[in-house]
A and B are shown apart, each in its own frame.
Chain A
Amino acid sequence: DIVMTQSPDSLAVSLGERATISCKSSQSVFKGSNHKNYVAWYQQKAGQPPHLLIYWASTRQSGVPDRFSGSESGTDFTLTISSLQAEDVAVYYCHQYYSRPYTFGQGTRVEIK
Chain B
Amino acid sequence: QVQLQESGPGLVKPSETLSLTCTVSGASTNSYFWSWIRQPPGKRLEWIGYIYYSGSTSYNPSLKSRVTISLDKSKNQFSLELTSVTAADTAVYYCARSQDDSSVFYYYWGQGTPVTVSS
By a CB distance below 8 angstroms, the chain B residues around A49 are 94, 96, 109-112
B99 at the interface (CB under 8 A from A): yes
A7 at the interface (CB under 8 A from B): no
By a CB distance below 8 angstroms, the chain A residues around B107 are 52, 61
Please state if B106 and A93 are interface contacts (CB–CB under 8 Å): no
Summarize B's interface: helix, strand, loop or mixed.
Answer: loop
Shortest Cβ distance from A98 into B: residue: B104
Shortest Cβ distance from B106 into A: residue: A52
Please choose the segment from B12-20, B55-63, B83-91 that sits at the chain A interface, where 4 or more of its residues have CB less than 8 A away.
Answer: B55-63
Please state if B103 and A50 are interface contacts (CB–CB under 8 Å): no
Q: Which of B73-117 contact A (CB under 8 A)?
A: 94, 96, 99, 103-107, 109-112
Please choose the segment from A11-19, A68-76, A103-111 that sits at the chain B interface, where 4 or more of its residues have CB less than 8 A away.
Answer: A103-111
Size bracket, chain B contacts: 20 to 34
Interface centre among A38, A42, A48, A101, by most chain B C-beta atoms within 10 angstroms, is A101
By a CB distance below 8 angstroms, the chain B residues around A97 are 103-105
Q: Do A101 and B62 form a contact, CB below 8 Å, given A50-B109, A55-B99, A61-B107?
A: yes
Chain B residues engaging chain A, CB cutoff 8 angstroms: 43-47, 58, 60-62, 94, 96, 99, 103-107, 109-112
Chain A residues engaging chain B, CB cutoff 8 angstroms: 38, 40, 42, 48-52, 55, 61, 93, 95, 97, 100-107
